[in-house]
Amino acid sequence: MQTDVQPVSAPSTPWQSLRLDHVRKVFRDSRGGDYAAVREISISISRGDFYCLLGPSGCGKSTLLNLIAGFEPVSEGSIAFAGEIGDQPWRKPIGGAGVDRSMIFQDAGEALFPWLNVEENVAFGPRLHGASGQALLPNLDRYLRMVGLKEHAHKFPFELSGGMKQRVQIARALIMEPDILLMDEPFAALDAITKRLLQQELARIWQETGKTIVYVTHDIIEALLLGTRVAVMTAGPAATIKQEIEVRLAQPRSSTSADFVELTKLLEATLHEEVHKARAAQAQAA
């Protein structure tokens, strides 16, 4: 753990960055050995960033997101909110899961409660934290509208398409008003048209709410359509960050603009090399 800056109790100044310093995660594998999934991950995510993590399948993207969520402890290094009060730096380590972070998973079918309708699914978190029905209504209305589900509030998950289920997940995360939305390949299982529509809507929601988003994907186009910064991870084991770029393109973006195509090529070279390494490693292990 870093000891250079003293943690302070809940400063009134909002955090300015989420800092991952020399993060390493080691799992115990099924044979009792150690498996280092990620190592030497040092990134700084500014408040309001849309930070995309790209990498080959199995490289450790979900692991990193779970560490930020606090679902798993880091093995080495630290993850903390950081900022300055005047010129005094402060750090507040994340200690486990918290309402300041909400996770959105790829598989909405598993994430939603099948016995609750859309509205009840979205209201579940605030209710759990003591919000009463009446007080909840304005926010419930706001976020159901934001994700385009107002007209479907009384439907049950089994009546919804994959895209609509993901909308429920997004509303359910937003209503908790977290500082950070963590999204783990949320649109990967959707058809191309639904995926594109939800990407556009997410870009709009990000602009409207100013949320910080950490978004995992294996799709370069998606990362460049959405992200303000895109990081490419190496193939595992012991994955680290190989490349990080800033995307200074206004929203809405077009994947056919010259600047976009140039950035695609820049990332493609790195990602393809890592995908090949990952495949070669998998073939050797088989």
Ligand X SMILES: Nc1ncnc2c1ncn2[C@@H]1O[C@H](COP(=O)(O)OP(=O)(O)O)[C@@H](O)[C@H]1O
The residues binding ligand X (CB under 6 A) are 27, 29, 35, 37, 55, 57-63, 236
Measured from the CB atom, is 48 or 73 closer to ligand X?
73
Tokens of 78: 């630290």
Rounded Cα–Cα distance for residues 212 and 180 (Å)? 5
Name the minimum Å distance from CB 71 to ligand X: 10
Q: From ligand X, Mg ion, none, which one binds at residue 227 (CB under 5 to 8 Å depending on kind)?
A: none
**Nearer of residues 32 and 133 to ligand X, judged by Cβ:** 32
Shortest spacing between CB 273 and ligand X, in angstroms = 16
State in angstroms the smallest separation of the CB of 276 from ligand X.
16
What is the DSSP annotation of 2-17?
A: --SS-B-S--SSPP-E
Binding partner selected for residue 282 from Mg ion, ligand X, none, CB under the kind-specific 5 to 8 Å limit: none
- Indicate the residue among 65 and 267 with the shorter CB distance to Mg ion: 65
Contacts of 181 (CB under 8 A, 6+ apart): 101, 102, 104, 173, 174, 211, 212, 213, 214
Q: Of 27 and 124, which CB lies nearer to ligand X in the complex structure? A: 27
Residue closer to ligand X (CB basis): 112 or 232: 232
Closest distance of CB 132 from Mg ion, Å: 37
Burial class (CB in 10 A: 0-12, 13-18, 19+), 136: middle
CB of 218 to Mg ion, least distance (A): 8
Measured from the CB of residue 144, what is the shortest distance to ligand X in angstroms? 30
* d(C-alpha 48, C-alpha 157), whole Å: 31
- The residue among 20 and 37 lying less far from Mg ion, judged by its C-beta, is 37
Quote the longest CA-to-CA distance of the chain.
59
Answer for the pair 27, 35: CB distance below 8 angstroms, yes or no. Answer: yes
Smallest distance, Mg ion to C-beta of residue 6, A:
35
**132 membership: H or E segment, kind and range:** none
In the chain, what is the straight-line distance between the N-terminal and C-terminal CA atoms, in Å? 37
| Contact call for residue 62 and Mg ion (CB under 5 A) | yes
Cβ distance to ligand X smaller for residue 29 or 208: 29
Choose the contact partner of 55 out of Mg ion, ligand X, none; CB within 5 to 8 A by kind: ligand X
- Contact partner, 228, from ligand X, Mg ion, none, Cβ < 5-8 Å per class: none
φ and ψ at residue 103, rounded to 5 degrees: -105, 140
| Partner touching 175 among ligand X, Mg ion, none, CB below 5 to 8 Å by kind | none
**b/e per residue, 236-262, with b = 16+ CB within 10 A?**
bbbbbbbbebebebeeebeeeeeebee
CA distance 81 to 185: 24
Which among 47-55, 62-70, 217-225, 236-244 is the span making contact with Mg ion, rule CB under 5 A?
A: 62-70
Residues that bind Mg ion in the complex, under the rule CB under 5 A: 62
